[in-house]
Structure 1
Amino acid sequence: MKKHLITSAIPYVNGVKHLGNLVGSMLPADVYARFRRQLGQLDGSQTLFICGTDDHGTPVEIASQKENTPVAEFVKYWHDFQENIYRSFGLSFDHFGSSSSPQNRVLTQHFAKKLLEAGLIDVRSQTMLYSKVDGRFLPDRYVEGTCPKCGFGKARGDQCDNCGSVLDPTDLIDPYSSISGSRELELKETKHLYLKQSQLVPQLRAWIDAQTWPHLSKAIAYKWLDEGLEDRGITRDIKWGVPVPPEVFGDDFAGKVFYVWFDAP
């Protein structure tokens, strides 16, 4: 008996999403799920259609701070709000979950441990921006500044929305804290886990070769591989997220969380 798992891009939990989120990803997935269920009545196959909210990351922390609401309460409110909207449009999810669920926490920590055992994660010291005024490191969207690639003045510490470049906070020109606006920043060393993506290029290329994707999708994937995959940090010095288990990764990682791009299913 064949089983079909269908999902779509999961929306960030912070705030009301625009119709493009629904029409661009969820609605096509819903149509396909309904089609597969109809076929299942004929061929006995089973279909599971899942989605959920992307609950972690600095955008969520920042949005909850602006509303002066504990982040867990903020996430619960907007998760329920979004699910009600999607259900009111008739989307037929079998399960609409959240990345902050206990189940996803266990899975994230499980896969991190497996990657460590496979030699695909290592510990690296990283120089990060630290705000004296805020008394904390400034990862991702906690810092803004000028993009070094295109000169856009409102680039964030994770990417530039103007040119699409993926950035690190230390790449920004004239950076400042998005919390306090302070420019009293200094560079401090902190330890983080890195996923060794550069070692996965041959396996990924072989896997993509075997897929029946549209030509454009394959071309984009090959372009990324040809340009070379960089090893990426998968932990952050923030409070909201899936905790990095110190019993697995060491005491240096007590209080750190996994990066949202690592834990989001």
Structure 2
Amino acid sequence: NNANGQLGRTTATPFDAIPAQVPGLTGVETLSAGFGHSLALREDGTVWAWGSNSFRQLGFPETTRSNPTPRQVPALTGVTDVSAGVYFSLVRRAGGSVWAWGLDPSVRFPREGDHTPRRVDGPKHVIALAAGARPLVMEKNGTVWGWGWNSTGVLGTGSNIRSTPVRARGLSGLVSISAGYRHVLALREDGTVWGWGDNLFMQLSPYLPELQTTPFQVTELPKVVAIATSASHSLAVAEDGTVWGWGDNSTGQLGPFVTTIDPVR
């Protein structure tokens, strides 16, 4: 999809099936693709953005739906990680501080966003970012913090709305997190997988209600070493190198012959 210029080029149609280099970018260290915009972190610690800026998620004051040319986010240096959310952007700077701009995730019916990167108060030693529909971060001690409108339970707190970061309940010893559109997976150091949020497509578990507001263990999996989430399905890499998937399979994202609702290899 290139309807918002998120591929970094102008095409005659709102999509492009042919891979092509994003022009004007070299020395890139990390990439992140959001709902309609893209972020790149260069080796010099600068952040570059392109795609939709409808809520100023690119870090520029003008609001444009299509901006295919990568531009440097102003007044932002010393960045070590980036994560593009639905209508907002997150970065981690040297020292573990988190900065955000774009749509305020705690506003239910927003009209505009803020293009200025602002430091997020709360977590101080962040080592991982996960931006989906709402922003999440993981601290060095293995705890997860999130903030914003919590209608789908992605904060893992059971509460309604949080304008400042709040810690997800009952989680510690984490090594990685991954945020889908409206659900979250977390991997603990013991190889267990924990999830919370939207379960409409059973992307968390086939044995839970459509909404899970507090973290629970996905018990149907072997020992896991890596996790990934998409809009409505989940993936895990087991210790033996096999890949497991569960959730929505309407377009064959779990494999062409999958019919079971359980996590399947």
Which fold has the larger relative contact order, with Cα–Cα distance below 8 Å and residues 6 or more apart in sequence? Answer: 1
Larger Cα Rg: Structure 1 or Structure 2? 1
TM range (shorter): under 0.3
More helix by share: 1
> TM-score normalised to the size of structure 1?
0.20
